């Protein structure tokens, strides 16, 4: 499979990548030959993730950089670091996201609302524009943003999160239309409920996991390792 999707000339910037789905995607990309900058808020977790990946392939293919995705200055620094380490950015995977409130939308405070919308939507808009010069200079590229199946459903407890993920789909559609003529592909990744720390509140109780699993065609929740190949195919061209 690694020969079918040879990514040895691909340089990937991946946010939200120190654990869970993001880490799995980073592992999948590197296993196919890509170079990857791993980013999340905590440097020690990024460094541990990069170390694990590099040891698995016995070479330095993953590089760690701490970044708060809601900070424009941090994102600029992340792009500069990625370009200095990789030389170019052929693929951007925006996987960082938050859900800062669990409950009725009528009760959400302004700070939690702004944090959710800014991190899940605006920061991706910023980051796309920061990497565009590199991609256009190369003659093309691939951009992926993690949305969610929550974008397609109403929720009594995750309303603002769901709304932010629907906005992500709008972001993806419009950038896909705008950047297509520049040979830059833009796609959304829409997971269901995955057993990671991010969604732990939704599955940590056995009865909650059982109820959610019964709604899935496979009768189980997603696992992080299910996403190892998700970013591989869109990165290949």
185: left (phi over 0), alpha (psi -120 to 50) or beta: beta
Instruction: Look up residue 2 and give its DSSP letter.
Output: T
Token pair of 202 as six digits = 């939704």
Going from the C-alpha of 142 to that of each of 80, 89, 188, 206, 223, the distances in angstroms are: 18, 9, 11, 39, 25
User: How is residue 134 written in tokens?
Assistant: 């590199």
Which own/partner contact pairs does 82-85 have at CB distance under 8 Å and 24+ positions apart? 82/11, 82/13, 82/37, 83/134, 85/35, 85/37
* Contact present, 105 and 160 (Cβ < 8 Å): yes
Q: What share of the chain is helix, strand, coil (3-state, %, to 5)?
A: 55, 15, 30
| Tokens standing for residue 144 | 């992926």
Active site residues: 161
């Amino acid at each position: 499979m690694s020969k079918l999707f040879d990514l040895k000339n691909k340089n990937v910037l991946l946010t939200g990548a120190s654990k869970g789905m993001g880490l799995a995607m980073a592992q999948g990309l590197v296993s196919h030959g890509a170079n990857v900058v791993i980013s999340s808020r905590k440097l020690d977790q990024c460094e541990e993730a990069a170390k694990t990946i590099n040891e698995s392939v016995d070479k330095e293919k993953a590089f760690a950089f701490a970044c708060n995705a809601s900070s424009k200055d941090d994102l600029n620094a992340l792009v500069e670091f990625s370009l200095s380490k990789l030389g170019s950015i052929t693929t951007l995977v925006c996987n960082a996201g938050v859900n800062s409130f669990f409950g009725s939308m009528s009760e959400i405070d302004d700070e939690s609302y702004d944090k959710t919308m800014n991190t899940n939507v605006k920061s991706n808009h910023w980051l796309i524009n920061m990497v565009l010069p590199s991609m256009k200079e190369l003659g093309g590229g691939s951009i992926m943003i993690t949305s969610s199946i929550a974008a397609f459903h109403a929720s009594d407890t995750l309303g603002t999160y769901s709304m932010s993920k629907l906005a992500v789909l709008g972001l993806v559609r419009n950038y896909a239309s705008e950047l297509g003529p520049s040979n830059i592909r833009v796609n959304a990744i829409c997971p269901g409920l995955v057993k990671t720390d991010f969604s732990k509140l939704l599955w940590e109780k056995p009865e909650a996991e059982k109820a959610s699993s019964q709604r899935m065609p496979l009768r189980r929740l997603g696992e992080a390792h299910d996403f190892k190949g998700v970013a591989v195919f869109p990165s290949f061209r």
